Amino acid sequence: MNEPYSRRYARNSADNPILADRYTSADPIRWNGSMIYPMYTEPLGPAPKLLTMALLSAAPPAGLRGHGIGLSMVDGYIDLDGRHLGGVDVWSDALYSGVTFELTPTGPGALFTLTPVWVDALGVQKSWMGNYGILVEDIPDGRIALWCSIGEGPPNFANLVVALLTTPAPARPVDGEPAEPAPLPVRVPLARPRTPVAQPDEPQQVRDEPPPPEPEPAVWEPAAAIEDTEITRPHHFGDRLEHETHRGPDHEPRAASDRETHREIERETRREVEHEPRGQSERDRRASGPPGPESEAAHPTAGGADPGFRSALYDLGVAMYARGDEEQACTLWEQAATAGHPTAAYDLGVVRYRRGDQAGAEHWWRTAADLSETRAMAGLSELLDRQGNHAEAQMWRTRAAREAGRSAGSS
């Protein structure tokens, strides 16, 4: 089951499109008799809740550097070590022993979403593309099992199986009243659910490494919260958007047939992963420790050090995107990209791609790729493959691998 994957989805013919091309909204599709969702969503209600997740089994395609699940909030935030985040990516290392997050609503329509995320062989974080999807199953112990197909290679819903459970969060003390004793941590048994699809003989061994230290939030950071600030993030399909969040646009381009409904999905969910506007929020989403070597230092801008105004324009665009003002975000990102900000150019390419503007996507991804943005190189290579320009596509893949290796060597 964990066989090498094909970057070009060679096993999907024209009359058998990849799963990402079949989704037209957040609603499920029927595939081989099963209902497959592009994301799992669950309303929060008026009060905070605890979300506990644990890994049941994993059999990802060979060659991936990491895999996990992206958690994003709509009309709410994740309370993580006193910080209010719009989304986080939870990697298999953390899921192995079980993790619990406190989710707080900020509006009547508050909900959370979950979707698979992964890091490919080049260290590029991805989501919302390829043969990704979720099969939802109720299991006897009251939890819900999410059978996740990672987007690389053919559909395989045993790639990642995660159990989740939501419970009411303990009431916070009112000023002047004694605090309630902290509840005991929720321990989630690692029992397997009944099997609706084929599973591997044994789960993949998961590394047990501590996550990297949390970065400080930046001035324009859309995912970090100021006290009493209502946070809404697009998803993570960015609707995640990114992600890397969750999030801004998806961290990886979707198929050219994506319709306008994908923008609605993006506002329903998170950010990126990899297709979400990065900014400081992306570094927050990496708090769970994505296994790839990519770092902010791996994206130099033209002319050396990035002047403050470029970063300010980009981060302001991220904030506008989080508010749902995509046009204003694109205007700001275009100014930043023209001034030499690689991530702004990359995110513009993602937005153009989702709108069906392949020429615009190619232009901005080329701009970002020339500034050593490896995710843009990966997106550009996929786009060129679909145009039949396989030679140039391979050239960009080779350059992306070289940039990733250089980044890893300097870290």
Residues 239, 264 contacting (CB under 8 angstroms): yes
Domain hosting 307: range is 19-296+303-410
- In the numeric block, the tokens 């979403």 are attached to 113
Does a structural domain hold residue 66? yes
Does a structural domain hold residue 238? yes
Does a structural domain hold residue 2? no
Does a structural domain hold residue 281? yes
Query: Which segments of 120-271 are extended strands (E)?
Result: 125-126, 133-138, 144-149, 160-168
More confident residue, 134 or 96: 134
Residues 162, 145 contacting (CB under 8 angstroms): yes
320-349 residue pLDDT tens: 888 888 888 898 888 888 888 999 999 999
Joined together, the tokens standing for residue 248 give 């801004």
Does a structural domain hold residue 11? no
Q: Give the closest residue to 60 by CA, choosing from 140, 126, 14.
A: 126
> Which residues are within 8 A (CB) of 137 and not within 5 positions of it... i.e. 6 or more apart?
144, 145, 146, 147, 193, 194, 196
Instruction: Give the separation between CA 389 and CA 404, rounded to whole angstroms.
Output: 23
Task: Tally Cβ neighbours within 10 Å of residue 318.
Answer: 32
pTM of the entire structure?
Answer: 0.46
231-282 residue pLDDT tens: 333 333 333 333 333 333 444 443 333 333 333 434 444 343 344 444 444 4
Does a structural domain hold residue 311? yes
Residues 270, 242 contacting (CB under 8 angstroms): yes
Does a structural domain hold residue 163? yes
Is residue 40 within a helix (H) or strand (E), and if so which, with residue range? strand 40-43
Does a structural domain hold residue 10? no
Domain count within the chain: 1
